[in-house]
Structure 1
């Protein structure tokens, strides 16, 4: 594919399914195309650095031995990145500040933070099993739901909501409840990609 064709706007091909109304969690099928995923991997490869847990008041990165993943913050001037950010704004709302970055997730970590209003987490690549995104404070009895959900979630896990890592698909969730408090039900973790690899794209709106 030529670079000219690669940056042309794509028709809206993704579809949305409401996974949870309260807290709001939306499953997005087809958020990233194959060409976009390949481009993101090539773009991010030379930019990967060890993931910090958070940045302190002195703007220094703080690390945790339990988090062994790497992160690549993507240049927002890249035309493909800009196109994906625009797509994210259709879901998260325009006028927000978006921070796109790639995470090859090889650890189990808490991804919640008080500064992220909403999150889109898209799977760029996944060659692993049982390596999805888990919300330990949520549980759904999937035997009472449409069986098609089992394509996207671990239906046999009723103790926690676990969303499968499916390349190209994405999750959207709100981190705050309607009273303006951090919603601990959206505490989440990336399950370790045993037997393979997993790379995800995070797009946040910040408060």
Structure 2
């Protein structure tokens, strides 16, 4: 299920409703599209982000007030395998959850692309830090034991190609993405449960909002298949995603009404045997500047 059909409107920041927009929302809600997909489609068409979330929430509220249709019912549960166009081909979606918004893409990257990313990262690996919520500084903590390599957006032709593909499948413009972070976990390596979004009430994290706004979604791409362990776990919903080379799990945590979805608490479970390589892409509300 995709939202390639966009509302035919828009100057940047467009924030006025119309009968055309209302019909567009009603039709796509009836077909089973989720709030996240509709908001992203409106953003791509030039609508103001706050207005888009409010318009979708209002339209969905009206929809919920009426009798449920089969399409609306399907949208609220895991969807069957689908295909989403990415320009260079099609990316199968192995499963899709509506709440919280989580999708698992099959073979987003080829084996050769995964291996090439690992090779790019080997020469610049360093211990992975986290943002100190009070100061905004990057600190090393025991809860995160990976080695990582950070890249700038478009730094390498391979990265530029992958970033364009990510933009196509997620619907989030490439310039809203932070640079890819390549991470390596050895046996026993893990990242304990955490959120990827920033807490605006913590001064250190609030500083991060000045360079692209809030993070709205994460994409984790598995660059190899560990012998055992290393799944991505969502403990609040009882979901574990197995790391399979080339696959990618996408999850969105900015709800249509602007709240942050704490059901996206997640963890990188300990690697039991072998090692794990992943590429992480964080997506922002607005164009990101390093």
The structure having more radius of gyration, on CA atoms, is: 2
Contact 2:131/2:139, CA 8 A, preserved across alignment: yes
SS of match in other structure, 1:177: coil
Q: CA deviation at 1:125?
A: 1.2
The structure richer in strand per residue is: 1
SS of match in other structure, 2:260: coil
Q: CA deviation at 1:25?
A: 0.6
Is 1:162 aligned to 2:244, yes or no? no
Q: Distance in 1 between matches of 2:121 and 2:281?
A: 14
Instruction: Give the corresponding residue for 1:201.
Output: 279
SS of match in other structure, 1:88: helix
Contact 1:132/1:191, CA 8 A, preserved across alignment: yes
The structure richer in helix per residue is: 2
Q: CA deviation at 1:127?
A: 2.2
Point out where structure 2 has 5 or more consecutive residues left out of the alignment: 1-85, 199-214, 286-290
Instruction: Give the corresponding residue for 2:177.
Output: 98
Q: CA deviation at 1:86?
A: 0.4
4+ long deviations beyond 4 Å: 55-59
CA deviation map 1:160-198 (0-9, x unaligned): 100111010001110122221111111100011111111
Q: Distance in 2 between matches of 1:39 and 1:195?
A: 23
Instruction: Give the corresponding residue for 1:126.
Output: 225
Q: Which has the higher contact order (CA 8 A, sep 6+)?
A: 1
TM-score, with structure 1 as normaliser: 0.78
Question: How large is the RMSD of aligned CA atoms in angstroms?
Answer: 2.1
Q: Distance in 1 between matches of 2:89 and 2:99?
A: 27
Contact 1:13/1:30, CA 8 A, preserved across alignment: no
Contact 1:43/1:74, CA 8 A, preserved across alignment: no
Aligned length: 178
